[in-house]
Amino acid sequence: MAARLFRDVLPPALIFGAAAVLWVALFAVRAASGGDRFDFVRWEVQALPGAALYRLGAPLRTDPAADAALAGYFALSDRSAPASAALESAAEAAIAGRIDAVLRAQGIGWPVPAPGTLFPPVNLELAAAPRALVVSPRARIARVRTEALRPDFTFAAGETLERRIEADRTLSALVVGTGGIATYPAIVASSEDYAGTVTAAAHEWVHHYLALYPLGRAYFSGNAETINETVADVVGEEVARLVIEHWGTPLAPPAARRPVIDATAVLRDLRIEVDALLAAGRIEDAERRMQTVRVQLDSMGVGIRRINQAYFAWYGTYAARPDSIDPLGGQVRAARARAGSLARFLEQIRALSTREEVARLAGGS
């Protein structure tokens, strides 16, 4: 048994450990140029021991039941207050446990040390998520630079940073908020509602899982970033739906307001229009059009601080979004449908790293 454990468990554990170190190191190298950058190393040094100590101390604590912890946490108006700390830890454990249960029920796991063991373990921290600086050329939509910024980096400071970068008239820049990032434990934005939090937590776990395989290891090369993010979106949404179907939501959702405008369709049509204008070399016309649509959306209650080339470069990475024009999103969803089970889909998609391979998987060829 010991030999089997060593042979079957230690190699993937070592691979995950090495992948996690590499993943953090790649982010850290990209973030090492200034005090406004998110400090990945400091985060890991603080978060990993805290997560381990919380688990080790479980027998000595009387934690609230999962439903009570989630209801209490998501009812808080200020989740950053010190009084929220106990509920936060219990809510993190409850969310992680429910995602773990769904993933194992879907057959995603390792056969040892026990059937259905989930690896990597679901591990998250509810916290203020880093912001992101995105830079695109003005003449086309493409992410040429992305940096993680401190969670407390204000949008006023972001506007100053954007202007400084855009002093180079060939560039477009944008500072955006994020819903989380796949450190380990994953940072999941504490400002989201329950459904959004579970979706983000499941999304980040997919990145942890894929880091063991060719797709995750190719994240920073070519188009693999978009494939990774799109797979994480598709799987994260499905897992969150299953969690909510099984356990429900801790609080009644707020009454839905009927939208005045279909912002998704507007943004999708705008992206098509902007691509055509940029392809024709009409950069200023494209920028005027983006600003006009932004003002129109704002007047109808859809507030977007800036819409520019960097905006579409950032959100275009998530090809499964309903406002995306990237065919990759449909291909990933088609591959998921063809696979039958979620476990089979992950087994198939994790070995790929190019758009051509995803297209073949979606088409069954």
What are the tens digits of pLDDT across the range 81-121? 877 887 999 999 999 999 999 999 999 976 555 555 788 99
Q: Which of 8, 25, 89 is nearest to 56 (CA)?
A: 89
Burial 106-142 (b: 16+ CB within 10 A, else e): bebbeeeeeeeebebebbbbbbebbbbbbbbbbeebe
CA distances from 78 to 70, 190, 209 (A): 14, 10, 32
What is the distance in angstroms between the CA of the first residue and the CA of the last residue of the chain? Answer: 41
Domain boundaries, the chain: 11-128+180-247, 263-363
Measured CA to CA, the distance from residue 185 to residue 208 in angstroms comes to 9
27 pLDDT above the threshold of 60:
no
Q: How confident is the model at residue 9 (pLDDT cuts 50, 70, 90)?
A: very low
Each residue's pLDDT tens digit, 28-59: 444 444 589 999 999 888 887 776 666 666 66
Bigger pLDDT: 222 or 170?
A: 170
| Order of all β-strands in the sheet with 186-189 | 124-127, 186-189, 180-181
| Cβ 243 vs Cβ 198: under 8 Å | yes
pLDDT at 59: 61
- Measured CA to CA in angstroms, residue 40 lies from 145, 261, 317 at distances of 18, 39, 22
Whether the per-residue pLDDT at 22 is higher than 70: the answer is no
Q: Check residue 153 and give left, alpha or beta (phi > 0: left; psi -120 to 50: alpha).
A: beta
Which residues are bridge partners to 174 per DSSP?
134
How many CB atoms are located within 10 Å of the residue 289 CB? 16
Tokens of 3: 């030999």
Give 284-339 pLDDT, tens digit per residue: 999 999 999 999 999 999 999 999 999 999 999 999 999 999 999 999 999 999 99
Q: Chain-wide mean pLDDT for the chain? A: 88
- E-strand ranges in 186-311 read 186-189
Comparing 23-32, 164-173, 230-239, the range with the smallest average pLDDT is 23-32
Q: Which amino acid is at 343?
A: A
- The CA distances from residue 261 to 6, 265, 272, 301, in Å, are 58, 9, 18, 9
Helices (H), 128-193: 155-165
Using CA atoms, how far apart are residues 286 and 271, in angstroms rounded to an integer? 10
Residue of 160, 169, 165 whose CA lies nearest to 138: 169
Q: Could you say which DSSP state residue 37 is in? A: B
CB atoms within 10 A of CB 312: 27
How many Cβ atoms from other residues are within 10 Å of residue 48's Cβ? 16
Question: What is this structure's pTM?
Answer: 0.86
